[in-house]
Structure 1
Amino acid sequence: MWDLVAGFEAERGHLTAVAYRMLGSRSEAEDAVQETWLRYANAFADPAYRAEIRELRAWLTTTTARICLDVLRSARVRRETYPGQWLPEPVVSRLLAGAGTPDGFAPDPAERVAQTDEVGLALLVVLEQLTPEQRVAFVLHDVFATPFAEIASVLGTTPAAARQLASRARRTVSDPGAPRHTADPAEQRRVIEAFRRAAENGDLAGLLAVLAPGVVLVGDSGGHFPSARRPVLGADRVARFWIGVTRPSPRTGRDERWYRPVLVNGSVGLLAETVHRDGRLWRSVVAFTIDGGRITHVYQQSNPDKLSGVARLADLDR
């Protein structure tokens, strides 16, 4: 039993990375990995099935991929009725001051394990445009170098068809119109700090200075809070929308919002909290893509169902 458990636990981080890239949800990825464990334990208990597990990582990876494929197929139906825009569930980690880092900040070493399944939020948004089969083929082959013969067994197709699915997905991901995040850590920190200062001060000119003319804002509140039901396009509209939803309001009883720089899927982003005067807390995680020194995309995740694993600001300071 020890070999059974130890063998699986050695692969858990890898499996979570596979599942998160396929599903865009940390909680769903963990559920998929747990289901993989149950199937593995059942197979290991049967000598006939155990003999089929020749290479453990490959067997676990394809099993996880089959589970994720089923989830993706059902998720497409659920997302057709999702209230408003849909964004992935972010992975958020602390930034600590650190000597020798380009931006003067470093990820908390204690949280490096939590970052092993990170992939840029912008890429996850693009992956949502793929069919379930394309997404599985792309993630397995282009990210984890899985042979097409194994991918074909997951998808129930031929290696040639699996190759074609991955190729189509690759064209979508590499499309010139897809979000591009080209900023290094120092530039990320500089641009987002300027955004934070302008947002806290309600400084329209300051926001316009860091937003690209064609910037796009996407917000996901899951229907829990007021949010744009469609993307907000253009620097002026995005800046005015942001000030409008964040400035204190006597009518709503909203107090000022606090921002904290954090790592969001490996890039510098913001964790925001607003405490209403009736004690209600509104939280959001904001991710960005930066190109040419300006913000080209803003992704605001404020659905509390997708932020349950994100620490409160007060907890980050402990």
Structure 2
Amino acid sequence: MSEHAERFTALRPLLFTIAYEILGSATESDDVLQESYLRWAQVELSGVADTKAYLAQLVTRQALNALRAQSRRKETYVGPWLPEPLLTEADPSADVVLAESVSMAMLVVLETLSPDERAVFVLREVFGFDHDEIATTIGKSTAAVRQMAHRARQHVQSRRKRFEPVDPQYSAELTTRFFSAAATGDLEGLMAMLTPDVVWTADSDGKVSAARRPVVGAERVARMVMGLVRVGGPEARVEPAVYNSAPALVLYTGERLEGVVLIEVSDGKIANFYAMRNPEKLATVMVPRRIGR
């Protein structure tokens, strides 16, 4: 392996995580890393003082280019847009900052930032790069980056509930109980496991059947899930998993992958369902990813 490849491979989990948190797409993050490596392979290593900072800068710039192109595509997207679910090789919950940074709830909030604000927030709050390094990366003054970091932090904090590290055993039990109740039509049992203002958000881009708008409220969500279970019929099955450091269910009809539903638990009850049904975004959901910071 060449020295270029060795240095890049050692930092790949960190570089993938930067790209994913800026883009919300594992597939596009793979493309960004491939493009970044091709550029890196042409660099004279004797002129690189800090490999981590250099590669983070390179990947961030490529990710921002991809994000701006993605923003244009979202203008014609049908229904809610959700990040691609991320299957991690190891449970990142030991690193609470990393676990929160890839959580679906955090990524949904990051969608509301401008591309530059999103890059600044990710590089500063998650990866701890200093303002000078970030300024060089995005082509802004250090003073402008400080202001952007402050604005982005306030924006995220005002929209993001306190992150609760997941108790895997409790979450798995709650998820299993919920779908058992759905299968038996136990409406009251279902509602008891949901927060009053629970939200079901589904991403399909109109390619398959799914709610085009978020469904809000315990009774409405419970009735909808019971309906989905009935429609699935005897061929339907679910398998528990962990995606984006949260409990999830992988949905199948026979052997056909139908979707991935991520579950956000708050104060012991389910507060959010994020249902990925878009076939394009399900293409690589079974591929485990290494993340890091």
| TM-score, normalised with respect to structure 2 | 0.88
Structure-2 residue corresponding to 1:16? 16
Q: Note the C-alpha offset of 1:17.
A: 1.1
The corresponding residue for 1:296 is 271
Residue 178 (structure 1) aligned to one of 148, 156, 160: 160
The one of 76, 80, 83 equivalent to 1:85 is: 80
Q: Sequence identity, in percent?
A: 39
Match of 1:112 in 2: 90
- Cα distance between partner residues in 1 of 2:228 and 2:179: 14
CA displacement 1:223-250 (0-9 Å, x = unmatched): 221111111111111111222233137x
Give the aligned CA root-mean-square deviation in angstroms. 2.3
Which runs of 4 or more aligned residues in structure 1 lie more than 4 Å from their structure 2 counterparts after TM superposition?
113-118
Q: Which residue of 1 aligns with 2:226?
A: 243
CA–CA separation in structure 1 for the residues paired with 2:91 and 2:194: 33
Query: Separation in 2 of the partners of 1:201 and 1:165?
Result: 50
Per the alignment, residue 287 of structure 1 pairs with 262
Q: Which amino acid aligns with 1:293?
A: G
Q: Structure 2: how far apart are the matches of 1:168 and 1:219?
A: 29
Pair 1:168 & 2:147 matched: no
Instruction: Give me the whole-angstrom Cα distance separating, in 1, the residues matched to 2:24 and 2:162.
Output: 18
State the SS of the aligned residue for 2:43: helix
Instruction: Give the corresponding residue for 2:290.
Output: none
Alignment gaps of 5+ in structure 2 = 288-293
SS in 1 for 2:236: strand
Q: How does 1:21-170 map to 2 (within 5 A)?
A: 21-44=21-44, 50-92=45-87, 111-112=89-90, 119-170=102-153
Contact 1:218 1:298 in 2 (8 A): yes
Q: Compute the displacement of 1:172 (Å).
A: 2.0
Determine the C-alpha separation between the residues in 2 that align with 1:256 and 1:241. Answer: 19
Alpha-carbon shift at residue 51 of structure 1 (Å)? 4.5
Structure showing greater relative contact order (alpha-carbon pairs closer than 8 Å, 6 or more residues apart): 2
Structure 1: segments with no counterpart, 5+ residues: 45-49, 94-110, 313-318
The reply on whether 1:273 has 2:248 as its aligned counterpart is no
Name the amino acid aligned to 2:63: C
Q: 2: distance between equivalents of 1:308 and 1:26?
A: 10
Query: Kindly tell me: are residues 184 and 112 of structure 1, through their superposed partners in 2, closer, same or farther at Cα, counting changes over 3 Å?
Result: closer
Q: Deviations over 1:44-87 (max 9, x none)?
A: 3xxxxx44421111100001001111111121111111111111
What is the distance in 2 between the residues matched to 1:304 and 1:30? 18
The one-letter code matched in structure 2 to 1:198 is A
In 2, Cα distance between equivalents of 1:34 and 1:113: 25
What CA distance in whole angstroms lies between the structure 1 residues aligned with 2:78 and 2:109?
19
How many pairs align? Answer: 281
CA distance in 1, matches of 2:245, 2:271: 18
Q: Deviations over 1:258-317 (max 9, x none)?
A: 111101112221111124xxx9x35111111111111111100111111112339xxxxx
Q: 1:114 to 1:215 in 2, by over 3 A?
A: closer
Deviation at 1:181, TM superposition (A): 4.7
TM-superposition CA deviations, 1:4-31 (whole Å, max 9, x none): 2211111111100111111111111111
User: Which one is further off, 84-93 or 303-312?
Assistant: 303-312
Structure number, greater radius of gyration:
1
1:217 deviates by 0.8
Question: Per the alignment, do residues 128 and 61 of structure 1 end up closer, same or farther by CA in structure 2, a change over 3 Å counting?
Answer: same
Write the distance in 2 (CA, Å) between the matches of 1:114 and 1:257. 30
With the length of structure 1 as denominator, give the TM-score of the two structures: 0.82
Q: 1:215 to 1:180 in 2, by over 3 A?
A: farther
- Residue 180 of structure 1: CA displacement? 4.7
Answer yes or no: is 1:194 the counterpart of 2:177. yes
Structure 1 residues 291 and 301, CA, compared in 2 at 3 Å: closer, same or farther? same
Q: Which digits, 9 at most, give the CA deviation of each residue in 1:174-210, with x for residues without a partner? A: 12x5355525323312321211212333332222111
**Aligned counterparts of 2:200 and 2:161: Cα–Cα separation in 1:** 12
In 2 relative to 1, CA 113–199 (structure 1 residues): closer, same or farther, beyond 3 Å? closer
Q: 1:186/1:112 Cα in 2 relative to 1: closer, same or farther (>3 Å)? A: closer
